[in-house]
Copies of this chain bind each other. A is one copy, B any other.
Amino acid sequence: MISKKSIKQTIIDFPFFKDMTGVDFDFLFNEDAIENYPKRALVFKQGDKADRVFVIISGWVKLNNMNEEGNISAVQLLTVGDVFGIETIFDGGFYFYSAEAVGDECRLLEIPSAALKERARLSHNFSVKLLNTMSHKIQDMQIAGACLILGDASRRVACLLSRLSSWMVGKGGVLKLPYEKSVAAIQLGMNQSTFSRALAQLEDLGVKSDGSEIIINDFSTLSGHCCSHCPIPEGLCDGRRMESVKKSKAV
Contacts and interface: CB of A to CB of B under 8 A. Distances in A.
A231 B141 contact: no
The quantity of this chain's copies bound in the complex is 2
Given A73-B146, A127-B128, 15 more contacts: A46-B233, A67-B231, A87-B139, A92-B139, A94-B233, A96-B139, A96-B142, A96-B236, A97-B142, A124-B127, A130-B131, A134-B135, A138-B141, A145-B148, A148-B148
Contact of A135 (B87, B94, B124, B151): B87
Contacts of A68: 228
Contacts of A212: none
Contacts of A94: 233
A120 interface: yes
A167 interface: no
A94 B137 CA distance: 16
A18 interface: no
Interface of A is mostly: mixed
Contact of A229 (B67, B89, B131): B67
25 contacts: A47-B233, A64-B231, A66-B231, A67-B228, A67-B230, A71-B229, A71-B231, A72-B231, A73-B146, A87-B139, A90-B131, A90-B135, A91-B132, A92-B135, A92-B236, A120-B128, A121-B124, A121-B128, A127-B131, A137-B138, A141-B141, A145-B148, A148-B149, A148-B189, A149-B189
A96 B72 CA distance: 29
A75 interface: yes
B131 A232 contact: no
A69 interface: yes
A70 to B, nearest CB: 10
